[in-house]
Amino acid sequence: MRSVLVITRGRVQGVGYRWYTREAASARGVTGWVRNRRDGAVEAELHGSDADVQVVLDSMTQGPPGAQVDEVLVTDVSSGAPRGFEIRATV
């Protein structure tokens, strides 16, 4: 099981990036959350098998049409895996 915190920078707000991330995670059975940040980045926490988390990270690097992903920072974390995948409020 792998748990990561992800910060994505670029043109990632206003282009459906959070929904895209949720769909990619749900398709692989990865749990966690995603939210916009006031600084224009998108932050997510992912929990799942190493392979499934990597597939979601690869998707996040691409992003949906209209997005321009400039940077994806990934940090391993140790936190409990939530059920499902949610979009959270902006912080």
Instruction: Give the tokens for residue 8.
Output: 């994505």
Distance CA 63, CA 84 (A): 21
Q: Is 81 exposed, middle or buried (0-12, 13-18, 19+ CB in 10 A)?
A: middle
38 is catalytic: no
Active-site residue (options: 2, 22, 28, 36): 36
Active-site residue (options: 2, 18, 22, 28): 18
36 is catalytic: yes
Q: Which of the residues are catalytic?
A: 18, 36
